[in-house]
A and B are shown apart, each in its own frame.
Chain A
Amino acid sequence: MEVFIYGLARGSTLALMAVGFSFAYGVSRLPNFAHGAFYILAGFATWVFAQSLGLNYVLSIAISLVLLAAIGAAMYRFILIRVRGMEVSEIIASYALGVAILEALRCKFVGTGFSTPVFIEGTIKVAGVPIDLQRVVIIAGGVVVIGLIWAFTHYTRLGLSLRGIAQDERAALMLGIDSDRAATIALAIGSALAALAAVIILPVGSITVNEGYDVLISALAVCIIGGLGSWTGTILAAFILGFAGTLTATYIGTMWESVVVVAAIILVLLLKPSGLFGRQKEFEERV
């Protein structure tokens, strides 16, 4: 039971971390390797607004979300748009930006002890297992975010056009959907999702720069296992990896977790490269 609840919490955490990357990649086919950096940047931004500037907590969260969305859009508008189509440069550019942000933060925020307050204090007991309320918030947040994305891509005009681009860019272009605008929006939303994940998850631990790399690894692992660009796959893979991680941590030892992640990626790439739930793309992605 304990494993189940912690697995659920960890699964939601991973899903929140990965969903932004997956969303942006799904629409624009641009891998945002600055994802982990955006996540941590949002954490520090919230901390600065709330602790240093003394703003209201909710307000600081809102500002961080908007800020990160703007950064995501700016990244596309000023950097990625110039290298669009050149695969090598696309990859290098976003990764370089991510590393630059992370290492700059490492210099700026020396030491530990940066953390944002939890939303709700206290713990509750679910089926005899104590769990702190912030983890419940994470699970709830995961569900809400996933629901919102689903509603957004199925019921709003903008969401539908993004989905159109994701499925067939050329056809969507012919129907008059501006692919640059769509990619800007997708990266803005993806970055905002990274920020949202950060503000929900970070109160549980403390904000450190290395966490940024960990988040990037987790997000990438989840996306590969679930199938790059597949949104349902991402969510399911997050929970699979979450449970796998919790099981390893409980029964074998915490240190084996990263081994499990790497092993899972290799296994998936070997057996089903399009991801566990990826759509039929053998011809496109497999050489």
Chain B
Amino acid sequence: MGTEARRKERLDRGVKVRTEKLYAVSGWQEITYLVLPRLALILGLLILPLVMPSMYWQKVLCSMGVFALLAIAFDFLAHYVGLVCLGGALFTGVGAYISGLLSSSTGLSPALTIPIATLGGGLICTLLLLPCLPLRGVYFAIVTIIYPLAIVRILTALNIWGGTEGISALATFPNIWVEVYLILGMVLIVLFALRRLVNEDYGLVLRGIKDNDQAVRASGINVTFYKAQAVFITAAIGCFCGAYLSCLYGWCGLSLFALDFSILPIAATVMGGLGTLVGPLLGACILTPLSEVLRAIGTWRIVIYCVVLLSFIVFKPEGLMNWIQRKYHQFEHWEKI
């Protein structure tokens, strides 16, 4: 290449400009341009379970959905509200235990335990995290690291709720199709709902809080209340995942507070691109099968997530999705200076 001075010039594709502000889309080209990526995503996710070769891979798809949900929730909270949650396992654990305890004590079916765990767990987690919400900075990250680790210690020490054994023989889903489509449907709903939310007025307020919370306060808005709502949304999604997993395995235990549920979603988010919401899904689609393939090497896979995460932060901070979007919307060429 030499030291010849040149720079990359990026231009929006004509079709992007045409479809951006214009609501009366005319030609098939424009419609395809807009609809194709969304359609590919939706259909792709819905068809995927059908083409899976075995039950085993369908189960992998289930855990992929779980991690995708967790990653999307992490992305929402980190990029749009500015709260970095390093302990997503808190949410899965709380959700799983609520649904597990309900199921083992009252024998309710998953159709009831999961919604109860989602809302109740979201509420409990929000209350647990409430003390650090009026504060700015690293407090939220610190407290979220501490909770899952501390709860595991406490449950082990007190030996309640099955102690280290966990609670087993819980009600499970009727068949694999319910399992797969429940989680994938949820991924799609959450993805599009959050996408919508962050561009609504409500989302603008959250982004305002991230950029400058003082100004939001001076505008007469209760920042802590808004943050609590955002945390509730994230926590409820996480609790849904936990409850879902407990119903999937028919078991809930301390490993639902494990580090995987905190780290993999973060890795998936950073890999896919912070702030894109679709990116985390893409990241989860890549990392989960990868970790299944690597199951044989045990704990090393957490190391691998972390290394992937670090290298993306250092070398490709924009993430995959931003890169793909750029390629889709713009063409670029080198220009001599």
Using CB atoms and an 8 Å cutoff, list the residues of chain A in contact with chain B. 31, 33, 78-79, 82-83, 86-89, 91-93, 95-97, 99-100, 103-104, 106-107, 213-214, 216-217, 220-221, 224, 228, 254-256, 258-259, 261-262, 265-266, 269-270, 273, 284-287
Interface mask (B152-165 → A, CB under 8 Å = 1, otherwise 0): 01100110000000
State whether B131 touches A285 (Cβ < 8 A). Answer: no
The reply to whether A217 and B131 contact each other, CB–CB distance below 8 Å, is no
Contacts of A78 in B (CB 8 A): 314
A224 CB, nearest partner CB in chain B, Å: 6
**190-207 of chain B: CB within 8 A of chain A:** none
A107 lies within 8 A of B131 (CB)? no
Given contacts A217-B149, A258-B153, 17 further A-B contacts (CB under 8 A): A31-B138, A79-B310, A91-B86, A91-B138, A93-B313, A97-B306, A106-B299, A216-B145, A224-B142, A258-B154, A269-B135, A273-B134, A273-B135, A287-B214, A287-B217, A287-B223, A287-B224
Among all A-B residue pairs, the 3 with the closest Cβ atoms: A255-B157, A100-B306, A269-B131
* Residue in A87, A213, A266 whose beta carbon sits within 8 Å of that of B131 in the complex: A266
Kindly state the separation between the CA atoms of A188 and B309 in the bound complex, as whole angstroms: 23
Whether, in the assembled complex, B317 has its beta carbon less than 8 Å from a beta carbon of chain A, the answer is yes
Chain B residues, Cβ within 8 Å of A79: 310, 313-314
Which residues of chain B have C-beta atoms less than 8 A from A287's C-beta?
134-136, 209, 213-214, 217, 223-224
* Contact across chains for A269 and B139 when beta carbons are under 8 A apart: yes
Q: Does B132 contact A (CB under 8 A)?
A: yes
A259 in contact with B143 given A96-B266, A273-B134 (CB within 8 Å): no
Q: How far is the CA of A224 from the CA of B135 in the complex (A)?
A: 12
**B135 and A103 within 8 A (CB):** no
Contacts of B137 in A (CB 8 A): 87, 228, 285
Question: With A87-B84, A217-B146 given, is the CB distance from A286 to B309 under 8 Å?
Answer: no
- Determine whether the beta carbon of A31 is less than 8 Å from that of B142: yes
The residue of chain B having its C-beta at the shortest distance from the C-beta of A283 within the complex is B214
Smallest beta-carbon distance B153→chain A, Å:
4
Q: Which residues of A contact B141 (CB under 8 A)?
A: 31, 33, 91, 95
The residue that B310 contacts in the complex, of A100, A220, A256, A269, with Cβ under 8 A, is: A100
Residues on B with C-beta less than 8 A from A107 are: 298-300, 303
What residue of chain A has the Cβ atom nearest to residue B269's Cβ? A92
Q: What is the number of contacts between chain A and chain B, taking CB atoms within 8 Å? A: 137
Say whether, besides A93-B313, A95-B86, A106-B299, A88 and B78 are in contact (CB < 8 Å).
Answer: yes
B residues 37-91 with Cβ under 8 Å of A? 78-79, 82, 84, 86
What are 20 pairs between A and B in contact, CB < 8 Å? A31-B142, A33-B86, A83-B313, A87-B138, A88-B274, A92-B266, A93-B310, A96-B266, A99-B306, A100-B302, A107-B300, A107-B303, A213-B149, A220-B145, A258-B154, A266-B131, A269-B131, A269-B139, A273-B139, A285-B135
Tell me if B259 is interfacial: C-beta within 8 Å of chain A: yes
Q: How far is the CA of A228 from the CA of B140 in the complex (A)?
A: 13
User: B78, B82, B145: which contacts A217 (Cβ < 8 A)?
Assistant: B145
* Complex contacts, B147 vs chain A, CB 8 Å: 262
- Measured CB to CB, the closest approach of chain A to B198, in angstroms, equals 15
Which residues 100-143 of B sit at the A interface, judged by CB distance below 8 A? 131-132, 134-139, 141-143
Q: Which of A103, A269, A285 contacts B299 (CB 8 A)?
A: A103
Cα–Cα, bound, A91→B217 (Å) = 25
Chain A neighbourhood of B146, CB < 8 A: 217, 220-221, 261-262, 265
For the complex formed, measure the closest distance between the CB of A239 and the CB atoms of chain B, giving whole angstroms: 20
List of A residues within 8 angstroms of B82 by Cβ: 87-88
A261 to B146, CA, bound (A): 10
A269 CB contacts on chain B under 8 angstroms: 131-132, 135, 139, 143
A79 and B306 CA atoms in complex are apart in Å by: 13
B313 x A103 contact (CB < 8 A):
no
Complex CA gap A217/B151 in Å reads 12
How many positions in chain B have a CB within 8 Å of any CB in the partner chain? 50
How many angstroms between the C-alpha atoms of A88 and B317 in the bound complex?
Answer: 12
In chain A, what residue has the closest Cβ to B133? Answer: A287
- Which A-chain residue is minimally distant from B270 (CB atoms)? A92
A85 to nearest B CB, angstroms? 12
Q: Which residues of A contact B299 (CB under 8 A)?
A: 103, 106-107
B102 to chain A, nearest CB (A): 24
User: Is residue B263 contacting chain A, with contact meaning CB distance below 8 A?
Assistant: yes
A187 CB, nearest partner CB in chain B, Å: 15
A256 to B157 alpha-carbon distance, docked (Å): 8
Q: Quick one: closest B residue to A97, CB to CB?
A: B310
Closest Cβ of chain B to A20, distance in Å, is 16
- Which A residues are in CB contact (< 8 Å) with B79? 88
Q: Tell whether A88 pairs with B84 under 8 Å between CB atoms, given A97-B306, A99-B302, A258-B153.
A: yes
A287 to B303, CA, bound (A): 36
Q: Mark B293-331, 1 if CB is under 8 A from A, else 0.
A: 000001110110111011001100100000000000000
Q: Does B176 contact A (CB under 8 A)?
A: no
Q: Which of A95, A103, A228, A261 contacts B302 (CB 8 A)?
A: A103
Q: How far is the CB of A83 from chain B (nearest CB, A)?
A: 6
Contacts of B143 in A (CB 8 A): 265, 269
B305: which A residues are within 8 A, CB to CB?
96
Does B189 sit within 8 A of A, measured CB to CB? no
B150 within 8 A of A: yes
